[in-house]
Homo-oligomer: A and B are copies of this chain.
Amino acid sequence: MALYDHIAACNKHSFDGRLPFGVGGVQAGWVREDLAARMTRWGDYFKVTDKGVDILESLADVEARSKALAEAGAALVVQQALPRNRKELCPVMERFGGEVLMRIDRAWLEPFAVKSYGVHVNGYVPGPDGPELWIGVRSKSREVAPGKLDNMVAGGLPVGIGLLENVFKEAGEEASVPEEIARTARPAGVVTYTLDTQAGMRRDMLFIYDLELPADFAPQNADGEVSGFVKWPARQALRVVEETDEFKFNVNLVIIDFAIRHGLIAPDHPDYARLVRGLRAWA
């Protein structure tokens, strides 16, 4: 599909039938009305009205809020109203860098439409004909996008870890990148989108890093999340983005962003400015 269609595909969403989800006096997400109705059972944790769902003010700190959500959430999983948790906690913030208001299991980010943060690392080798990109092939056993193509390194940001620390951690686990190389990763912007999913809504902010690699480096997966890696000219990766759905849905956007920043898309491309702007649908 056309490059811009990938951006449009990552931004299909509607707020119809969703209620604001308030935490600590600010809106931290959205809840579907059917989930909100089930949450009325925990009147000592949540105030549920036709205007929204709020964690009670009496739950005044991160611990109390997180515990309340974990408890109600566990019961809602049994009701099959929430997906099984992944035992990885993520920070709930009004915006990135702000106060952590609550911790939430990664699996519940979507049902509560809580903003989600992650790092994506373009591992590349410069060359006379343009950069080559290391591409990961996602393991077939993964819940999200099994078998799809991926960035060399990518991962959601758990609570209590900084962005760069997460880059080091994921680079080691996913691609066996030595820390002295991972330390040279350069931040290069963000990609953001809002997407309705079966579980709820993704409001993702991907922090993009470029990591220049020695020509003789080859990534090796250490955590079972990646079944293998291939090194492609970035132009070829861009062609695969343009012509197929082989890449994981959001990785298409990361590749487009890389291609624009590295001069692989000519500015007279009819969608050029729309691509540049569309890659960050929110901030």
State the A residues within 8 Å of B (CB). 96-97, 162-163, 186-190, 192, 205, 207, 210, 260-263, 265-268, 270, 272-274, 276-278, 280, 282-283
Interface SS majority for chain A: mixed
Residues of chain B lying within 8 A (CB to CB) of residue A260: 187-189
How far, in whole Å, are A277 and B276 apart by their CA atoms in the complex? 9
Residues of chain B lying within 8 A (CB to CB) of residue A280: 273, 276-277, 280
Q: Tell me whether A187 and B277 are in contact (CB under 8 A).
A: no
Q: Tell me whether A186 and B273 are in contact (CB under 8 A).
A: no
Q: Tell me whether B189 and A276 are in contact (CB under 8 A).
A: yes
Which of B187, B261, B274 has a CB less than 8 Å from the CB of A189? B261
Can you offer 13 A-B residue contacts whose CB atoms are under 8 A?
A96-B268, A96-B273, A162-B268, A163-B268, A188-B262, A190-B276, A192-B277, A210-B263, A261-B261, A273-B280, A277-B280, A277-B282, A280-B280
How far, in whole Å, are A272 and B272 apart by their CA atoms in the complex? 22
Residues of chain B lying within 8 A (CB to CB) of residue A274: 283
Nearest B residue (CB) for A119: B267
**Given contacts A276-B283, A277-B283, is CB(A188)–CB(B268) below 8 Å?**
no
How far, in whole Å, are A263 and B277 apart by their CA atoms in the complex? 19
Residues of chain B lying within 8 A (CB to CB) of residue A273: 96, 190, 192, 205, 280, 283
How far, in whole Å, are A187 and B246 apart by their CA atoms in the complex? 27
Residues of chain B lying within 8 A (CB to CB) of residue A272: 96-97, 190
Residues of chain B lying within 8 A (CB to CB) of residue A283: 273-274, 276-278
Residues of chain B lying within 8 A (CB to CB) of residue A162: 268
Nearest B residue (CB) for A273: B283
Which of B261, B270, B278 has a CB less than 8 Å from the CB of A188? B261
How far, in whole Å, are A160 and B96 apart by their CA atoms in the complex? 45
How far, in whole Å, are A18 and B189 apart by their CA atoms in the complex? 36
How far, in whole Å, are A97 and B268 apart by their CA atoms in the complex? 6
Nearest B residue (CB) for A280: B277
Residues of chain B lying within 8 A (CB to CB) of residue A282: 277
Q: How far is the CB of A58 from chain B (nearest CB, A)?
A: 30
Q: Tell me whether B262 and A190 are in contact (CB under 8 A).
A: no
Nearest B residue (CB) for A260: B189
Residues of chain B lying within 8 A (CB to CB) of residue A268: 96-97, 162-163
Q: Tell me whether B205 and A265 are in contact (CB under 8 A).
A: no
Nearest B residue (CB) for A188: B261
Q: How far is the CB of A22 from chain B (nearest CB, A)?
A: 22
How far, in whole Å, are A49 and B8 apart by their CA atoms in the complex? 37
Residues of chain B lying within 8 A (CB to CB) of residue A97: 268, 270, 272
Question: Which of A190, A270, A282 has most chain B Cβ within 10 Å?
Answer: A190
